[in-house]
Amino acid sequence: MTYKPEIDSLRAISVLAILVYHAKIYFFNSLLFPGGYYGVDIFFVISGYLITAIIIREKVNNNKFSFKNFYFRRARRIFPALILVLIISLPLAWYSLMPYSLIEYSKSIIYSIIFVSNFFFYFTGLEYGAVSGLLKPLLHTWSLSVEEQFYLFFPIILIVLINYFKNKIFVPIFFIVILSLIFAQSLFIFNQNLNFYLLPSRIWELLFGSLLFLYQKNNILKISNLKSDFFCIIGIILIFISFNYFYEVDPSPNIKTIIPIFGAALIIIFAKKDATITKILTNKIILSVGLISYSLYLFHYPIFAFVRNVRLADSSFDYFLVAIVIFILSTLSYNFIEKPFRDKEKIPDNIFLYVITFLISVLILLSIMIIKNNGFQKRFPSLNSFSTDYEMYLKKDRDLKYKLGNPKFEKMNKKNVLIIGNSHGRDTFNALYLNKELFTNYQFSILDTQISCLENIFYTLKICDKKLSDSQKNILNESEIILLSTSFKTTDIDKLEKIIESILKNKKRVILLNQKPHFYFYNNFSLVDEFFLKFNRLPNEEEKIIMEKKYFDSISQETRKINTSLKSIAQNKEIKLFNKVELFCNELKRRCKYLTDDNYKLFYDHSHYTIEGSKYIGKKIYELQWFR
């Protein structure tokens, strides 16, 4: 197989798109490359192409295939730069990450090294592309894990196919591609996050690259420079419209992913050395970026994450300066780490194995030490009642949700109250359920969903096309009072009156809860967090008043607008409206509480209650006699 410079050009385009996507740069209030994550999908195609070429070349030339040599080459390609990034990022993590975040980071080191970080990030509930994910230094290693899992079994399968199908291996691989694409599209509908991280959802992308190589191997195209330019231009257009228009807000492989992949395929197949577009694509600058693309990919995400955690960058210019640092580090990594470690003459196999094993062992031991010592909490100031560690609160909230679930209504002389809504509905449920001893005449349960999914629920027994379980059906049917509590979206507001009508027709009492304020929360820190980190203490009484006014002033006009609409709907339908804002804000004094009387946080982010906050809010609801 001869060197194909267009492959490095595609690598350059892909890694630059990914870098811009993760930098979250806005131009004239529009996000640049909102579909830049497709660069990873193109990387998968390239990987499948090159791995297939390597295996078939060795099998044809030597009439045999050495699995040992293959996996050694993969190790030389993957481990050195990865370990360098982990070594450099560890002290940065120590300096910038809160205790629980440092624990999670240490776990991600271990899972990244053994190439199962895609499962780790999925089971920790991390959504790629979400704001919280931008602060996770090693989130991008999920793609390395997917690739290495593919490399683990693909050579075996390909050798078996070559032995049994000879020159007809295109057909079974094509069949697997179709099955994997169908699987990805189906799972995209039911669980986008799992679909994103799972290898079976990505196999079709990797094997698409295999099909490209097999096609080129058996079909020598003789086309004019004009046709080459035409098809390459089409390929470039398909890639760039995917980056900007044909993309999903929540990244996950599906039928749309074919567009950028097909664009990359056109460039790989039709690029011709003497054609004008190929010459432009393979100029020295683009090729140099392609050569360092692996190091660029490894370095960019943790550096962006650390910069966000310590707030070193706010503007596009700041991120441009950060990008320069990333390019410098990546160039050094390519020249002094990647290239030497790939050279057997400079670093023999036995030396390579000893060095890599030693460094991996050190990283794992350090990670275990951090985990065992609970992230060395004394690195940052804290109180028994107060912490700035957002991840700790988030974990407690998830654990509580898992523990409480959707409790059944017991047969007793109490009114059955069902809360329906998203995470804000879960907050309302927590506040009531954790204070159930106060509400002696009521028992509570919850259905977690968007309000807009309730249309015709009593007839379809579905929530957004998902059937209710028998337990959920019983909870719905046995409920007497339904509280609609959620973070309202436009789709909820548009359908709300019809939804209320359908609930009333089924002889249920409806109570509407308005919108909670969304307070200031930036890079996992609230206003009081920033104060605490700056002064190593909580505000005094005078400062507390000023801080409460800042919280009030941070309530958006959008929240006020939504609440006006909800008030009007409640009046039209003659149902009760509970005002969440009054639970912690005084409209006359223009102040909002952010701490309980014992100095526990009310909110762990912009709007979600802490467990202590839920207990406080539940008592407040009781004092205000909402259920009188």
**Separation of alpha carbons 60 and 72, rounded Å:** 20
Which residues of the chain carry a pLDDT beneath 50? none
Domain positions in the chain: 5-372, 390-623
Distance of CA 267 to the CA centre of its chain: 30
Q: Where are the alpha helices (DSSP H) in 127-166?
A: 142-165
Positive or negative CA dihedral for 266, 271, 277, 279?
positive
First and final C-alpha spacing in the chain: 79
Long-range pairs, 27-35, Cβ under 8 A, ≥24: 27/316, 33/243, 33/244, 34/243, 34/244, 34/247, 34/249, 35/242, 35/243, 35/244, 35/245, 35/246, 35/247, 35/248, 35/260
DSSP 265-296: HHHHHH--TTSHHHHHHTSHHHHHHHHTHHHH
By CB atoms closer than 10 A (0-12, 13-18, 19+), residue 597 is: exposed
Judged by DSSP in three states, 525 sits in strand
pLDDT of 460: 84
**Separation of alpha carbons 305 and 256, rounded Å:** 29
Distance of CA 406 to the CA centre of its chain: 26
pLDDT of 1: 55
User: HSE on the CB side for 301, CA within 13 Å?
Assistant: 25
By CB atoms closer than 10 A (0-12, 13-18, 19+), residue 284 is: exposed
Amino acid at 570: A
In this structure, which CATH number among 3.40.50.1110, 3.50.50.60, 2.40.50.140, 2.40.30.10 belongs to the domain 390-623? 3.40.50.1110
pLDDT of 167: 78
**Separation of alpha carbons 591 and 546, rounded Å:** 9
Radius of gyration of the chain (CA): 28
By CB atoms closer than 10 A (0-12, 13-18, 19+), residue 249 is: exposed
With beta carbons less than 8 A apart as the criterion, state whether 454 and 488 touch: no
pLDDT of 537: 92
Nearest to 519 by CA among 603, 444, 623, 439: 603
pLDDT of 145: 97
Positive or negative CA dihedral for 116, 122, 124, 129?
positive
Positive or negative CA dihedral for 364, 367, 369, 374?
negative
Nearest to 392 by CA among 157, 109, 611, 111: 611
Residues 583/423/96/252 CA torsion (nearest 10 deg): -160
